[in-house]
Structure 1
Amino acid sequence: MKERDVIGAEELLSRKFATMSDMIAVHATSDPDRRALVHDDDQLTYAELDARLDRIASRLQAAGVQPGDSIAIVGGMTIPATCIYLGAQRAGAVPVPLAPSSTALQLAAMIADCDAKIVFVDAAAAIDPPELDIDVVALNDLDAWLAPVGAKPEPWSAVPDAPFHIIYSSGTTGTPKGIVHTHGVRWTQALAWKAVGFAEATMMVATPLYSNTTLTTLIPTLIFGGTAILLGKFDAHRFLEVAERERATHTMLVPVQYQRIMAVPDFDRFDLSSFRIKFATSAPFAADLKADVVRRWPGQLVEIYGMTEGGGTCLLYANMHPAKLHTVGQPAIGSDIRLIDDAGREVPHGEVGEIVGRSTFMMKGYHGRDKATDEAAWHDAEGNRYIRHGDIGRFDDDGFLTLLGRSKDMIISGGFNIYPPDLEAVLLAHPAVSDAAVIGIPSETWGETPYAFYVSSDPAIAPADIMAWANARLGKTQRLGGAEAIDELPRSTIGKVLKRELRNRIAA
C-alpha cells in the first residue's frame, strides 16, 4: 500500500464530513484487490466495486436522474441490489430500499410516496411493472442496463444536509413512514464506530438491505475498507458454515436470529474464534439468550438500543455486565436520554416514563410528512429537540435502562399500568412455552385486560392450564384474562412481533 494512499484515506477519515462513495474510491486505489462485497460465489473487489458504481451513476444520470431524486430498490441482500444503493449515492440520488415481501399495493404506495424516478426490482418482488408509470429495471439483468465499461459520472457536490437515503419504517404500529437520513448524520455515525475495527472486518451481513439494522454496520464496513459477506435469505446452519469458512470477525443480528443460531444442535462444533464483536438490535433480547451467546460464542456481544429515526442510543456490553442482561445498557457517548410522563414532564430518577432521546444521529424528518415529524419530537426547557422513542422504560441506580414495552402496547386495567414484557417473561419461564406475546383486549369491568398468545411444544397442555400457571406467578392486577396457543407469532422480517396483527386476530 502506497504511503500517499494511506494518507489519503486518513485525511478523509479525519474530516468532519466526507462521503461513503469517496471512501470506496480511496480504497479502490489504496487496496484495490481487497474484497468489498461477497455473496456465495460472486464477489467484487474494491477496484471492481468502484468501477461498477461509476457505471451505475453514469447510467442514472443519462436517464435524467438528478441529485436529490429518489430511486427505489425492491431487492434482497445481493450484490446487484447493494451496488444500486451505493451507485445511486455516487450520482447524488437518494436510494430507497424496500422490502420485496411487501404486497404490490404496499410497494406502489411507498414508491409513489418517495416519488421514485426508477425502480429496480428483484424477481421475487410482488410488483406488476405495467402498473407503475416509471422505468422498471430487473436486478437480475443489471449488466445489460449499465453504462459502458470505463464510464465516469458527472461529479456532484455533496453537503452534510443532503439526503443520504430514505428508510421506510417497519409499519409495526401503523402505515410505514419514510425516514430521511442525511449524508452528514451517516458519516458522523460511522466515524463513531472507528474503534470497533471495521477496517479489518469480515462482516457477516444477515439482515435485509431495507433495514436500518443492516446499514448501521454495512456503511462503516465500506467506509473503513472491510469486507461484507452478504448472506441473502437467513439460515442459521448456513450462517455458521460461512462464518467458520470466512473467519468472520463481526456481525449484526436481530434476537430471533441469535435464538435460531444458538439452537443449532451442533453449534459448538463450529470454530467461531475469529469473532471480535457481535451486535444485536431491533427487538427485545431475552436475558437468558444473551447469557447463552456470551457463554458459548467468542467475542464481545453488544446490544444496541435505538430507533431508525435516531434520538438516543443505549449500549449494553453484555460480556462486561453479566448482572445487567435484563437491561439495554447505558446511554452511549453523545446520547441524551430522558423519561417523561403523559404531560411531557420529566419524571424523577427511578420512575417509569416514556423514552425520548437526542444525539448526533437524528433523522431529518419523515419524507413529506411535516406533521408526523413534529409529533415525533419533544423539546426540553432550552428548546432542544428530542425524538420520542415510543417505548416505556426505567433507569436503575447505575444508569442502565430497562424497557417495559411500547407505549402503545401498555395495558391499563382497572387504572393500573401493566407492561406486557413482564407478563411475557413469566410465560416464557413455562417449560413448554417457546414464544409469547401479550396484548390488551377490551373489558367491560376493567377497561382492558391482558390476553396472551403463546407457542407451545406440548399441544396436550390446554390454554387454561397455561393461563392458570402464569396467573399463579403474576400479581393480582397483572393476571391474564385469556390465553391462546398459536403456531407462530407474526413477526416483521427483523424479528419484531406484530402485535397489531394479534389485535386484528382478536377483533376478527
Structure 2
Amino acid sequence: MNITEKLRETAARVPAKPAYYFAGESKSYAELEGAVTKFASGLQKIGIQKGDHVGLILGNSPYFVIGLYGALRAGATVVPMNPLYTPTEIGYMLDNGDVKALIALDLVLPVLEKVHTSLPKVESFILCETPKQEGDSPLDLGSLSIYPKLQAFTEVLEKGDLSFAPVDVKEDDTAVILYTSGTTGKPKGAMLTHKNLFSNAHDIAEYLKFNEEDRVITALPMFHVFCLTVALNAPLMKGATLLIVPRFSPKEIFDLGKTMNPTVFAGVPTMYNFLYQYPEGNPDDLKSLRLCVSGGASMPVALLKNFEHKFKVVVSEGYGLSEASPVATFNPLDRPRKPGSIGTSINNVENKVVDATGEEVPIGQVGELIVKGPNVMKGYYKLQEETVATIKDGWLYTGDLARMDEEGYLYIVDRKKDMIVVGGYNVYPREVEEVLYNHPDIVEAAVVGIPDPAHGEAVKSFVVSNNPDLTADDLIEYCSLHLAKYKLPSYVEFIDELPKNATGKILRRSLKEIAVETK
C-alpha cells in the first residue's frame, strides 16, 4: 500500500465527501481521485517515466495536491521546493536533484528565467496560473526564453485519461526527495520511500484519531514535511476534509473558524503566538477545534498554557525531522500531557537517548536522540558518506540533544549541530556563513541564533571586515541575493576578532552570550 493507492481506496469509500475546500470551492474525493489519475496519465504522455524526478515549486493549493499524488501515481519521484527560494537555491536543487519536469507557479517565472539555461536536465516546465488582480497585465509568455519548454498545468491534465493504470512501484522506491539545510552549506536531499510516507501518515492518522468528520486547517506550507504528513497525507487517508489556506494569516484562520467549523489545526509555535496575540481574534470563532498540533520548534511553556486557556483546546506537541518523514514523537492524547515535552514515541517508532558510543544513557541524563522505524529515510541523495554517518544499524542519529524521563517522555535540551529555528524553518549557521565569506570585504564571519519573540529565534551574524564603510544593511542586502528571507541575518555586529579556543575553533557559546547581551 502507498498513499496514492490509499487515496483511491478512500475515494471508493466516500466518493461524495469533500476532500478539500479552497478559495470558496470544494472538490469531492471522487473528483480529486479523477484529477490525480488524469494528471498522472498526462505526465506519462509528456514523457515522464517511472523513476523520473518531478519538481514542485508551489504554494498551498489544489495544484500541489494533484501534482504530488499525480506524479507519484505515474511512478515519479517528487522534489518539493520553497517558492521563496532564490535563483541560486532553486538552481542547485533542480540540478542536484536531477529534475526532469518542474511544476511551478507563474509567480516564479522570473526565477526560472534566470536559471533554466544552466539546467539542461529539465525538459518541461508545467505552469500553474495564479489568480490575477484587476488591472494586472497578462503574462507575455512568448517573450520568455523558457517558452519552448512551457506548458500549462491544465493542458497536461486535459491530456490525461481516466482509464490510466497506476505505475507499479515498490515500497522501497524513492517517493520524495526533501532538501534540508546541510551543515556543509549545501542542502541535502533526504530520500523518503513510499513505505516511509505511508507508514508515518498512517501512524499519525491513527495516533491523532483522524476521521471522516474532521476538517483540518492546512495552513503550514505543503512543501514542508510537517504539513505533508500531518495536515495533508494523514487526513486524506481517513476521509477528512482539508481546509487549504494559501498562506497563514490570523485573520484567515479566524474567518475559517466562523464559516467552516474546523476540528484540527497544525502549526509551528510562531503561528500559535500570532493567533494568541491577534487583537480581533475571538476564541469563540475556534470553539469547534478538538485538537491543535505543534511542531517544527519547541513551544514556550507560557505560550502553550496561555493559548490553551484562551481557546479551551489541547495543544499536542511533537517532534520530527525530514529524515524521519517526519514524526517520531507526540504527546499522547489518552494520557497526561507534559508541557515542555515533545511527548513519547508514536506507534511503530522507537526513540533512544545515547552517548557518544551509541549506548543508551540512564533516565534523566542528556544524550543524542536517535530514531528507528519504518519512517526513517532511505538516505541522502548522492551523499553516501553522509548517509553512513547519519544512519547506523538502522538508527537515525538526529544530532539533537535530549533527555527522557521515567515515563518515556522526551525533552529536547539543545541542538547539537547549532541549528537555528526561525518560525519553524531550519537555518544552519554554516550556510549563512558561506555566503558571508563570499563577500569581498569579509575577513571572518560566524552566525548564531538568538531568542526572538515573534519567530522563536532570529539569525545574528558576527563579522570581521576590512572595509570600515561596510554597513549591516549592505550585508543583509548581499545575503538576500543568495538566501531565502527566513535565513537572512536580522542583526549584524562588527567586531575586531572572533573568539577562538587554543586550536583556533570559533567559540559559538561565547558569541551567543554576547549576542543576547548586545541584541
Q: Which band: TM-score by shorter chain?
A: 0.7 to 0.9
Match of 1:205 in 2: 218
Q: 1:194 aligns with which of 206, 216, 219?
A: 206
- CA RMSD of the aligned region, Å? 3.1
In structure 1, distance between residues paired with 2:449 and 2:124: 49
1:313 lines up with 2:324 in the alignment:
no
In structure 1, distance between residues paired with 2:454 and 2:243: 34
Deviation at 1:343, TM superposition (A): 4.2
Match of 1:135 in 2: 124
In structure 2, distance between residues paired with 1:187 and 1:480: 45
Deviation at 1:172, TM superposition (A): 7.8
Change (3 A) 1:373 1:79: same
Contact 1:337/1:357 (<8 A) preserved = yes
Match of 2:417 in 1: 408
In structure 2, distance between residues paired with 1:436 and 1:363: 27
Change (3 A) 1:173 1:290: farther
Contact 1:202/1:229 (<8 A) preserved = yes
1:216 lines up with 2:229 in the alignment:
yes
In structure 1, distance between residues paired with 2:275 and 2:458: 21
Change (3 A) 1:73 1:451: same
Change (3 A) 1:92 1:256: same
In structure 2, distance between residues paired with 1:268 and 1:50: 37
Secondary structure at the residue paired with 1:50?
A: helix
Secondary structure at the residue paired with 2:322?
A: coil
Deviation at 1:220, TM superposition (A): 1.5
Which one has more relative contact order, counting CA pairs under 8 Å at least 6 apart? 2
Deviation at 1:23, TM superposition (A): 2.8
Q: Letter of the aligned partner of 1:167 in structure 2?
A: L
Deviation at 1:202, TM superposition (A): 0.7
In structure 2, distance between residues paired with 1:434 and 1:45: 36
Match of 1:463 in 2: none
Match of 1:385 in 2: 394
Deviation at 1:87, TM superposition (A): 0.7
Deviation at 1:317, TM superposition (A): 4.2
In structure 2, distance between residues paired with 1:233 and 1:118: 25
| Most deviating of 345-354 and 247-256 | 345-354
Contact 2:450/2:459 (<8 A) preserved = no
Change (3 A) 1:316 1:44: same
Contact 2:399/2:415 (<8 A) preserved = yes
Secondary structure at the residue paired with 1:393?
A: strand
Change (3 A) 1:149 1:444: closer
In structure 2, distance between residues paired with 1:425 and 1:109: 25
Contact 1:241/1:270 (<8 A) preserved = no
Contact 1:95/1:166 (<8 A) preserved = yes
Q: Letter of the aligned partner of 1:162 in structure 2?
A: D
Q: Letter of the aligned partner of 1:448 in structure 2?
A: L
Match of 2:264 in 1: 250
Match of 2:164 in 1: 153
Residues 49-60 of structure 1 mapped to structure 2, 5 A cutoff: 49-60=32-43
In structure 1, distance between residues paired with 2:72 and 2:455: 43
Contact 1:287/1:325 (<8 A) preserved = yes
Q: Letter of the aligned partner of 1:409 in structure 2?
A: D
| Most deviating of 196-205 and 94-103 | 196-205
Deviation at 1:32, TM superposition (A): 2.4
In structure 2, distance between residues paired with 1:320 and 1:175: 41
Match of 2:21 in 1: 38
Match of 1:162 in 2: 173
Secondary structure at the residue paired with 2:518?
A: strand
Match of 2:85 in 1: 102
In structure 1, distance between residues paired with 2:85 and 2:173: 28
In structure 2, distance between residues paired with 1:433 and 1:452: 22
Please, what TM-score do these two structures have when normalized by structure 1? Answer: 0.75
Q: Letter of the aligned partner of 1:268 in structure 2?
A: N
Structure 2 unaligned blocks of 5 or more:
130-151, 420-447, 463-497
Change (3 A) 1:41 1:438: closer
Alignment length (residue pairs): 422
1:448 lines up with 2:507 in the alignment:
yes
In structure 1, distance between residues paired with 2:10 and 2:89: 38
Deviation at 1:296, TM superposition (A): 2.2
Secondary structure at the residue paired with 1:147?
A: helix
